[in-house]
Amino acid sequence: DIVMTQSPLSLSVTPGQPASISCKSSQSLLHSNGRTFLYWVLQKPGQTPQLLISEVSKRFAGVPDRFSGSGSGTDFTLKISRVETEDVGIYYCMQSIQVPRTFGQGTKVEI
């Protein structure tokens, strides 16, 4: 299985300030078709998870542009340019290049 490792596991942020989460995979997520199958999912408190970012950097419909994803190969980053109170929750990175799909441990973001 591909192991996804996130850091930090907990992050305390101030509204209006930037925040960054790292995700490293144990194998490259670059497919032979040129796509990289790395995703970011947010689970707000008491809510169903929601997709934020697809294939490293493509925001899902309706996701604010303060969220951005970057990286390549085995090293990826999710950035929030200016954190808002509604951004609290647990952020997971996930890979879908190989079965089984695997998630990181999650990063808890608190205000």
Partner 1 sequence: QVQLQESGPGLVKPSQTLSLTCTVSGGSITSGNYQWSWVRQPAGKALEWIGRIYTTGRTDSNPSLTSRLIISRDTSQNQFFLQLTSVTAADTAVYYCTRDAQRFDGTWDVFEQWGQGTLVTVSS
Interface with partner 1 (CB under 8 A), residue total: 25
Length of the chain: 111
Q: Which is nearer to partner 1, 10 or 17 (CB)?
A: 10
Q: Which is nearer to partner 1, 49 or 66 (CB)?
A: 49
Q: Which is nearer to partner 1, 17 or 48 (CB)?
A: 48
In the shown chain, the binding pattern of residues 48 to 77 toward partner 1, with x for contact by CB under 8 A and - for none, equals xxxx--xx--x-x-----------------
- Give the range of 13-21, 65-73, 80-88, 98-106 binding partner 1 by CB under 8 A: 98-106
Distance in angstroms (rounded) separating the CA atoms of residues 94 and 38: 6
For residue 18 the two structure tokens come to 């930037």
For residue 43 the two structure tokens come to 């689970």
Classify burial at 28, counting beta carbons within 10 Å of its beta carbon; exposed 0-12, middle 13-18, buried 19 or more.
Answer: middle
CA dihedral for 23, 25, 31, 34, sign (positive or negative) = positive
**What pairs with residue 90 in β-bridges?**
43, 108
- Which positions lie near partner 1, rule CB under 8 A? 1, 35, 37, 39, 41, 43, 48-51, 54-55, 58, 60, 92, 94, 96, 99-106
